[in-house]
Amino acid sequence: AQRVTQPEKLLSVFKGAPVELKCNYSYSGSPELFWYVQYSRQRLQLLLRHISRESIKGFTADLNKGETSFHLKKPFAQEEDSAMYYCALSGNYGGSQGNLIFGKGTKLSVKP
Amino acid sequence: EAQVTQNPRYLITVTGKKLTVTCSQNMNHEYMSWYRQDPGLGLRQIYYSMNVEVTDKGDVPEGYKVSRKEKRNFPLILESPSPNQTSLYFCASRQTGQGNGYTFGSGTRLTVV
């Protein structure tokens, strides 16, 4: 079964400190992994996708198939990074496997 | 502008009174989905649709219905709402193809009293 685990409900850091939001997944095939961000009272926005290996707003995430992880990292946190972050997984395309399954989210709080 | 539009944004209703939350997307996406968001539980999928006339249950479908008669629309129907359906609801759509994430609507905050 597909599953996404975000072990931390809340992560609190000081401005300028490094940030790592953990995400582990369970999937028997080749997954696609995404990170979404939700700022206060706003809609979810796509932040990163593993397939594009991009860096958005200073965040990066690398898919580690051996550890089944897709942790989100940023070297220097900013106050505007405070938000809810969701990791999501999708299986190979075709039928229901194109669906997205979300983790429960981690609330990041960056203190001044 | 490419977007997913949900209506209404806020709704307060009474137990048992049927309601429909509409969702429309203008991106010609095949996949559409409904999620509910509750504190401590994250996003849980209610129903999803792979294309017109093709729908399937998500993790928490009880008490909800959907339909997909047209590609752009995916309404969520609560035939007899109950207080435990008080939640924040999000509609989302997605184009098939590797690497495409969902585009989300702004959300509907539903309160059932």
The whole-angstrom distance between B45's CA and the closest CA on chain A is 8
Kindly tell me if the per-residue pLDDT of B86 is higher than 50: yes
Question: CB–CB of A96 and B48 under 8 A?
Answer: yes
pLDDT tens for each residue of A42-95: 899 999 988 777 788 899 998 888 899 999 999 999 999 999 999 998 865 444
Cβ of residue A48 closer than 8 Å to a chain B Cβ? no
Q: How confident is the model at residue A31 (pLDDT cuts 50, 70, 90)?
A: confident
Beta strand B54-57 with B42-51 is antiparallel
A86 chain-B contacts, CB cut-off 8 A: 42-43
Mean pLDDT across chain B? 93
Distance CA A44, CA B6 (A): 14
B35 chain-A contacts, CB cut-off 8 A: 102
Compare CB distances from A86 to B42, B58, B107 and report the shortest one's residue. Answer: B42
Q: How confident is the model at residue A98 (pLDDT cuts 50, 70, 90)?
A: low
Concatenated DSSP letters for A29-89? S--EEEEEEE-TTS--EEEEEGGGT--BTTBEE--BTTTTB--EEESS--GGG-EEEEEEE
Phi/psi zone of residue B16: left (φ > 0), alpha (ψ -120 to 50 degrees), beta? Answer: left
Distance CA A70, CA A4 (A): 10
